[in-house]
Amino acid sequence: MLDVPPVVTDRERADGWSDRLEDVLLEAGSVFPRADLRRRAAACIRGLLGPLSRKNGWQLAEYAGDARPDGRQHLLDRSRWDVDELRDVVRRYVIAGLDDGGCGAGPAGAGVLVVDETGFAKKGHASAGAARQFTGSLSGVFPCQVGVMAAWATGAGQALIDRELYLPQEWTRDRARCRAAHVPDGVGFAAKPRQAEQMIDRILPDLPQGQVWVAADEVYGRDGAFRAFLESRELPYAAGGAGQPDGVAAAGPAAHRPAGRARRPGGGLGGAARRTLPARQPQPAAVGTTRPRPGHEGR
Show the 3-state SS of 38-105: HHHHHHHHHHHHCCCCCCCHHHHHHHCCCCCCHHHHHHHHHCCCCHHHHHHHHHHHHHHHCCCCCCCC
What pLDDT is stored for residue 215 in this prediction?
Answer: 96
The single-letter DSSP state of residue 271 is T
**pLDDT surpasses 70 at 16:** no
pLDDT band at 157 (very low <50, low <70, confident <90, very high): very high
**pLDDT surpasses 60 at 217:** yes
Residue 254 identity: A
What pLDDT is stored for residue 15 in this prediction?
Answer: 61
For the chain, where are the E strands, in sequence order? 111-121, 131-135, 140-154, 157-166, 212-216, 237-239, 248-250, 259-263, 275-278, 285-287
The single-letter DSSP state of residue 293 is P
**pLDDT surpasses 60 at 257:** no
Question: What is the Cα–Cα distance from 147 to 119, expressed in whole angstroms?
Answer: 6
Q: How many Cβ atoms are within 10 Å of 82's Cβ, its own excluded?
A: 13
Question: What is the Cα–Cα distance from 279 to 258, expressed in whole angstroms?
Answer: 6
Answer yes or no: are the C-beta atoms of 245 and 282 closer than 8 Å.
no
Percent of the chain exceeding pLDDT 90 equals 47
Question: What is the Cα–Cα distance from 106 to 103, expressed in whole angstroms?
Answer: 8
pLDDT tens digit sequence for 56-65: 999 999 988 9
Mean pLDDT of 268-291: 35
Strands 248-250, 285-287: pairing kind = antiparallel
pLDDT tens digit sequence for 18-70: 677 778 878 888 898 888 888 888 888 888 888 888 889 999 999 889 999 99
Inter-CA distances, 137 with 144, 145, 169, 228, Å? 10, 11, 21, 28
What pLDDT is stored for residue 240 in this prediction?
Answer: 87
- Chain center to CA of 237: 16
**pLDDT surpasses 70 at 186:** yes
What pLDDT is stored for residue 267 in this prediction?
Answer: 38
Mean pLDDT of 283-299: 39
Mean pLDDT of 79-101: 90
What pLDDT is stored for residue 243 in this prediction?
Answer: 53
Residue 141: exposure state from Cβ atoms within 10 A (0-12, 13-18, ≥19): middle
Strands 111-121, 212-216: pairing kind = parallel
pLDDT tens digit sequence for 129-138: 999 999 888 8
Question: What is the Cα–Cα distance from 7 to 233, expressed in whole angstroms?
Answer: 33
Q: How many Cβ atoms are within 10 Å of 20's Cβ, its own excluded?
A: 11
User: Which comes out higher in pLDDT, residue 2 or 81?
Assistant: 81
